[in-house]
A and B are shown apart, each in its own frame.
Chain A
Amino acid sequence: MGLLDKLSGWLGLKKKEVNVLCLGLDNSGKTTIINQLKPANAQAQDIVPTIGFNIEKFKNSSLSFTVFDMSGQSRYRNLWEHYYKESHAIIFVIDSGDKLRMVVAKEELDTLLSHEDIRGRKMPVLFYANKMDLRDAVSSVKVSQMLCLENIRDKPWHICASNAIRGEGLQEGLDWLQEQIAQ
């Protein structure tokens, strides 16, 4: 079995499995982003607030993603840390239109990055500055300033502006993530 697995891996037949954790505050658009990344025929029409978490699987050209779409509501945020250990990458979604709760997003991010299961690991973190279509949305540069992303030195990170409803900017981030995991 082991030999066969390796062989298929060399030949590129079997895709590498990657666990990705999708985090962010409630109403930031995590489920919408994951929904957009799924194949068109599997996409859901209505997005409702996630309770607990959802597991979604989809495939890319070379990788097979298993995404843990966590609920962002404050009462479920303590579930996040139970999935840090098994995950290989993190997608952190920010509502660019919610300036008031940027401090809450920063607080959750700081807690996340200082967690013992995350701290020492060199796992890629992808930030989506979501809801760019809103009139009062701040730019992705401003978001990275407000979250003090320049202080993250031990992990590769990338921020991209997105509009999850129309799917804009999502693929760019996913390409970066794929590149990082392949390394």
Chain B
Amino acid sequence: MSESSGNGGKWLDAHYDPVAGLFTFSPCVDLADLSGDGESRLVVGDLGSGSTGMKLKVFRGTALLSESTLLDLPAGLVAFFMDLHEPRIPAVAVASGPCVYVYKNLRPYFKFTLPGLEVNSLEQDVWQQAREGQIDPLTLKEMLESIRKKADVPLSMRSLRFLSLETDDMDDFVQLHKQQPIRRQTVITCIGTLKKSTADDDGVSCLVIGTESSDVYVLDPEAFVILSKMSLPAAPTMMDVTGQFDVEFRITVACRDGNIYVLRRELDKPKYCIKLSSHPVGLVRVGKNVMVGCTDESLQGFTQKGKKLWRTVLAAPITTMAAMDLPTRGFQAVLVGLANCEVQLYRDKNLLSTIKTPDVVTSICFGRYGREDGTLIMTTKGGGLMVKILKRTAVFDDRDGAPGPPLAQSVRLNVPKKTKLYVDQTLRERENGLAMHRAFQMDLSRMRLTAAKAYVKALESSLAPVSSSISEPLKMNAVVQGLGPSFKLTLNVQNTAACRPATNLAISFLYDEGLYRMRNPYMRIPLLVPGLVYPVETSVECTSDKGISDIIKVFVLHEGRSCPLLTAHINMPVSEGEMLN
């Protein structure tokens, strides 16, 4: 079922055609009720192979309903209402090259061409001379080259094309083109829609066009005249439009200089600018915030005034982004297609769910398709078409997956009120701070002195279990095993010298003879090789049945010396065997 396909149990796999032959990207996909019967169709501007096979395709359900050939590569596609006629059927606008082709009822209806740009006068003069035969193509080329280097106004397409030609082809080119006037044309980079005067879903919309010449045009939907022209510092690549043209609107544009600009009504220059650390690849507005996907594999959130809210790092580069808006449930999020064959759903910076796809997704469109409101349509790199439907029962819980301080940290502790005692103590500490500190320091010094004295005493009388004498550095630890009345006493003796073996050593025990009996209270230790641990074992028997225990002292002695090398005190355990008897 759908759980196994990595949808997190939230999506139903309605349709997947891996060989649909649909090569497109998100700006060229839209959903619209093109027949007015309440069933939305999928309109796709298919890029084909990039040079041939550009088509406008319309899907209904799982089937291709119609396709018509496009003359040029589509840069964007939008469905919009251009008039108030009943039934309310939207038109489709396809932006390609310098033109916007408007289709009504899937038939070509109108073609809008962007106004031409200013032509370099020097260039015009040079071509004029060429037409009159005053200069040959080689001179023409030289002059155009010099114009290209110096002039503020760039050359026209024709001159640029001419400059790229081989010497043999120049003559023919000049003959062919010299009679036509020079025109400089820009191309459309992105297209959007803006409601004219009402916010209704089926209100008449204006087209908003971004061009390569760094301009943004707003077109009247009925007469197709330019209502407003705004200019940007760089060529726009993506845009998001909100508001109404007659009231107030906001056009958020991501530009090729890596910045995002916000245009407002009655301003022909950007109002705000968001400077990004890397280039934007996706721009989606969610509510009043703008979410931007960047080439550094990050997703960033900004307010509409350009204040940065958050930034989250993604697992892979972004391929495409789209908004997911479910007004019936009041749910808004953003879908991010990643290069590692995943589509992730983010609400603000929180990852809500992940959809695994069999191929890299190149375009995402979410909306009403057919009669289903929550439909997710994706096309893949290999030309596949995938349709998923959001389950009616799907719930996205907004857990904050981002690492940060845990929730418990922000819970206020119930700190009791300051008592009188506390206040008194604080006052005393404040007044007598110096004296208290001195008293503390004196006590600390005394304690250190006492500790040092005890240590020296232990060293002098070899009371410590470690001998640090240069001639016989030794270490010993003792283990008592058994429950009683007989215990096994194991003494692990180690020579810690670097290379000198220790000889002529013995072990002697000192104990209360009324309590314990020991098999051999005096033992000779063999030669101790440095580094090895020698276990010396003996057995102790407790003779008392009163349930008391005592300390057994162990001395390691050197033959011919009265002072022990080291001493260990063994706290014997209470003999349990005797007590049980």
Interface residues on A, range: 10 to 19
The smallest beta-carbon distance between A143 and chain B, in angstroms, is 15
- Confirm or deny: B63 has a beta carbon within 8 angstroms of a beta carbon on chain A: yes
Query: Is A100 within 8 A of B373, CB to CB?
Result: no
Query: Is A77 within 8 A of B392, CB to CB?
Result: yes
The smallest beta-carbon distance between A26 and chain B, in angstroms, is 6
Residue of A nearest to B329 (CB): A75
Q: Which of B353-404 contact A (CB under 8 A)?
A: 369-373, 387, 389, 391-393
Stretch at the interface among A29-37, A40-48, A60-68, A101-109: A101-109
Residue of B nearest to A75 (CB): B328
- Confirm or deny: A136 has a beta carbon within 8 angstroms of a beta carbon on chain B: yes
Main SS of chain A's interface residues? loop
| Cα-based distance from A100 to B40 in the complex (angstroms) | 13
- Confirm or deny: A99 has a beta carbon within 8 angstroms of a beta carbon on chain B: yes
- Confirm or deny: A111 has a beta carbon within 8 angstroms of a beta carbon on chain B: yes
- Confirm or deny: A74 has a beta carbon within 8 angstroms of a beta carbon on chain B: yes
Q: Which of chain A's residues have a CB closer than 8 A to the CB of B372?
A: 74, 100-101, 104
Main SS of chain B's interface residues? strand
| Cα-based distance from A119 to B199 in the complex (angstroms) | 47
Residue of B nearest to A108 (CB): B392
Q: Which of chain B's residues have a CB closer than 8 A to the CB of A101?
A: 14, 370-372, 389
The smallest beta-carbon distance between B331 and chain A, in angstroms, is 14
Q: Which of chain A's residues have a CB closer than 8 A to the CB of B12?
A: 103-104, 107
Report which of B13, B61, B328, B369 forms a contact with A99, defined as CB distance below 8 A: B61
Convert A66-84 into 0s and 1s, putting 1 for each residue whose CB lies closer than 8 angstroms to a CB of B.
0000000011011000000
- Confirm or deny: B305 has a beta carbon within 8 angstroms of a beta carbon on chain A: no
The smallest beta-carbon distance between A120 and chain B, in angstroms, is 22
Q: Which of chain A's residues have a CB closer than 8 A to the CB of B105?
A: none
| Cα-based distance from A74 to B328 in the complex (angstroms) | 10
Query: Is A107 within 8 A of B391, CB to CB?
Result: yes
- Confirm or deny: A178 has a beta carbon within 8 angstroms of a beta carbon on chain B: no
Q: Which of chain A's residues have a CB closer than 8 A to the CB of B392?
A: 74, 77-78, 104, 107-108
Chain A residues in contact with chain B, CB under 8 A? Answer: 25-27, 74-75, 77-78, 98-104, 107-108, 111, 136
- Nearest 9 pairs of A and B residues by beta carbon: A103-B12, A100-B61, A100-B14, A103-B14, A99-B62, A74-B392, A100-B62, A100-B370, A107-B12
Chain B residues in contact with chain A, CB under 8 A? Answer: 12-15, 61-63, 328, 369-373, 387, 389, 391-393
> 11 more A-B contacts (CB under 8 A) besides A100-B61, A104-B392, A136-B61?
A74-B392, A98-B370, A98-B371, A99-B15, A99-B62, A100-B15, A100-B62, A100-B387, A101-B14, A102-B14, A103-B13
